[in-house]
Structure 1
């Protein structure tokens, strides 16, 4: 795939290059995949180009990135960027997001969703027979016990933290309509 044949809409951020590792061009990667090693399974990575202005559309914001090695190291991952064998050159790739083409991500079972599919959806509570708009899912976070949706906006402008527990608090997810229905007290 060439740089000009991918658009930002096709890409899903799956990690970030954080810092250099050693002197031979290796870098540390913070993976957003679960388990973290899954990021190494993607054949083509795209690296965010901070030099592209925010007004730039499509592939100009993303550059193809080839890696020739990657492995688990300590509590994280390290990768080697193809053709980069110098620490100073590798440093130019740090603090940049890594994306893959969303269509290359594994298909999920019915009722399962990737976080990027839930972000931006509107959340509506149906509690005690009342329907209350809560706003938009701005992000999700992992807490150990369960994932939590951070929902902001709605008629009261509040931010709410709602456990992502389908069948308990999450009553339905409709990607077509862009709505998540929850059973959550508006007073919380």
Structure 2
């Protein structure tokens, strides 16, 4: 695999979020097929500037298109069949597109589209928030979210003495009273011994 000429080295913005990866070349004119990390591809479809990073783990073998971070303008991106395809600046032909296979795609959090609903949140905004119950008892910090089909579940982690306690709370209005993003906290109707 050869390096792609014309890619400009840069740095990731402080608010960069990994949203997908390049799956493979698509066609002969430099398009790539994408694998989004989310069921909703709104971020990939809406952002006009992407940051590509080399792959990690099993995807890294044989990748030498670039090292570090490169920034690319998105010329066109669209849904196609059961996936998403994109044409990126500086990726002129199939060979250049093939060289990007498995590259990780990052987007600045500032480029995410508005959810359009005060009760909808991006998971990336919830991770790291403190969770307290109505009585002010700390239940932990959001470590992850778990999709379960009908709703998501907050996965909390808290250190109590010399042990780590994990809790899971359904992220539904029955249990979640308030999400305060600026205050970095979530208030819930939940007890420590549940």
TM-score, normalised on structure 1? 0.71
Change (3 A) 1:21 1:50: closer
Secondary structure of residue in 1 paired with 2:164: coil
> What is the distance in 2 between the residues matched to 1:48 and 1:79?
17
Question: What per-residue deviation string (whole Å, max 9, x for no partner) do you get for residues 24-73 of structure 1?
Answer: 3443323346632552222111223569xxxxxxxx96421233333323
Query: Does the alignment pair 1:16 with 2:20?
Result: yes
Change (3 A) 1:61 1:123: farther
Q: How many residues align?
A: 172
Change (3 A) 1:169 1:154: farther
Secondary structure of residue in 1 paired with 2:14: helix
In terms of fraction of residues, the more helix-rich structure is: 1
Tell me what 2:108 maps to.
Answer: 101
> What is the distance in 2 between the residues matched to 1:106 and 1:28?
22
Gaps of 5+ in 2: 1-7, 57-66
TM-score, normalised on structure 2? 0.69
Query: Does the alignment pair 1:175 with 2:176?
Result: no
Tell me what 1:68 maps to.
Answer: 75
Tell me what 1:117 maps to.
Answer: 125
Gaps of 5+ in 1: 52-59
